[in-house]
Chains A and B, each alone.
Chain A
Amino acid sequence: MLSFINELKRFDDEKFIKRLQKTSVNDVHRVLAKRVIDLKDMAVLLSEAGGRCLEEMAQRAHQKRTQHFGKAVVLYTPLYLANHCINGCTYCGYNVHNKIDRHILSTEEIEKEAQEISKTGLKHILILTGESAHHTPVSYIVDAVKVLKKYFESISIEIYPLTEAEYKEVIDAGVDGLTIYQEVYNPQIYDAVHVSGPKKDYTFRIQAPERAARQGIRSVNIGALLGLDNWRLEAFKTAWHAHFMHKHYPELELAVSMPRIRPCVGGYEVDHPVDDHAFVQIMLALGCLLPSVGITISTREEASFRNNLVALGATKLSAGVSTAVGGHSKDQEASDAQFEISDTRTVEEMKVFLKSIGYQPVFKDWLDMQDVRMERQAPC
């Protein structure tokens, strides 16, 4: 079957690194002057020489992305439904071996969270869980979606990878977006950091976006968790993955993210740190290659840093974030968080900020296609 994994298998990390080393600033300028930047040019943009041309890259990314998206940023917030998890991932606070407060929201609690979030005006929500077939099976997700549909126009999931039939089930229930990060594209490192649990299955995870796309999901957000391998390699593979999805599923609204590992319970030591300069280089390279692909920036990043990323091409920002289960409706956090957030601004604060720099905060960029209002329509 046609799958990104078959292309990725042919990739040679060392050859790529060598190519990066041969790149000059002149090469970067030549690429930036091209009408269309292709995948081969990504090596040039991600090179050290590319890092010396960030302003030129920023100008191109800004111009192309503004043309496609306008000066608009979609706002959303994550809603953590549960933090039970059977996986042993070295970098994650939800690791099965971590002694943390675990909690799962009941239907009533989900409704309370939804009410609190919808008071802020948000219409896009991203629901998250750990992986536990016992605590949060697909039927639990479907029930949650049914509740949330009353309050939100767009519901995305960031949960464990599903089978194709299960994706159909959640899409039919009203899910229109999938966020799934491969975490690390290098299979050896993937195996090493995912010590135990179903998440060890690299192939099942990397093919998840393809399964969801085949079932007609509207939007997919992919990415790598930066810090687990050489960021130039991971950024290239993320770009390639997005490029592959764009080519084979052109109807998808695609977005990429470049989350950096944050401090969490368990205290993971980052092997390959990514500084702000590198982060911006990755974002701009992706933005230049894929001007019509969205870029989502979470509150893993600092407020002042995120502010500067808007003009560089960020298209989706989270706001009013709590990474704890029940964190929106309870005074005291009901559980330990997945990671510490770095931008604690409310939705209102984000809105005011975006307007102050001449960008439109977009609360609604999709509509519930199963809206009951439509059923009242009688054909003339």
Chain B
Amino acid sequence: MSRRLLRYLDWPVLVATLILVVGGAVVLYSAVQNSGDASTLVRARILHAVMGLVVLALMAFIDYQTIARAWRPILGTTLFLLVVVLIIGRSSMGAQRWIALGPLGGFQPSELAKLALIITLAKHLDGHKELTSWRDILPVLIQAAVPIALVIRQPDLGTSMVLAAIAAVMLFAGGAPLGALGAMGAGAAVVAPMAWRILHEYQRRRLLVFIDPGADPLGAGYALIQSKIAVGSGQVFGKGLLHGTQNLLHFIPEQHTDFVFTVIGEELGFVGAALMIGLFVLWLWRGMAIAAQAKDRLGMLMAVGAVGMIAFHLFINVGMTVGLTPITGIPLPFISHGGSALVAMMGATGLLLNVGMRRKKILF
């Protein structure tokens, strides 16, 4: 059994993931090398990577059908934790996102929510083969909307966008009528102004600055300008690992979390950035292949959910460092500092491998 599984293990996805995690750790070290608690951060990263590998293995080897059957406890736990974090959560930049876990640091339920949404939504959509009537779609939407609403409440605009994107991609792949998807998009546009009110002042400024970066060059636009300078100044080959001046001199806020890509862009240049994107493309391409070859609709939906999540993260995160997308705090998968995100991303990878290993026997 397990040998047969290993035969179908999608090595490119696993290898791409491991390279991204290990390479990412090196970049992360560069980002924090002179921050004073570099060794603490590196040790945390190693611990998280090990935890991520364990979760990856679990998510890969427990049959995804089994995982899907447990959707009720998964969804219940996630929603419970999302409510808990609103009540007792620790604040960071004005938003309540963390549950303190003593020596393990903090836990971010919204990261778990991404994985949980993929599993539960896949299970749910699998139950409705035909998504033609609103009666089929509405329960699915409600199931996605509840965690999204809870995350917005924190408020965490980026993660709620990720959740919405996962839901949209999975609905699309699940065969929802285009008209319904369009209506949902319109609905979101209507709800958006309400979300605007929940946002903190700094989050609003970030969005406004995306429209006009020159508006406040020393305030909210500062991060965008400095991150473009960092990425751009890397030119073709970069300033060399550990030698980015923008990085070393801390010109970029959040350089080890949301803006970690600026370190890659500055120190490794266009070549390094392209190499990283190439690894993600490999991961995403294999992910789509696994989705296409999945044994069943459930597996296909899970794989698409994982691919959608990683692709959305990649585009929004890298895009914001070069002024392509608004600055919203979402991490670069496998690389940004943050244990919960790393474990969730590796969990999603495990899920993808899981689907791949159990694909039908037709190969290419």
On whether the two chains bind one another, the answer is no
A interface with B by C-beta (< 8 Å):
none
B interface with A by C-beta (< 8 Å):
none
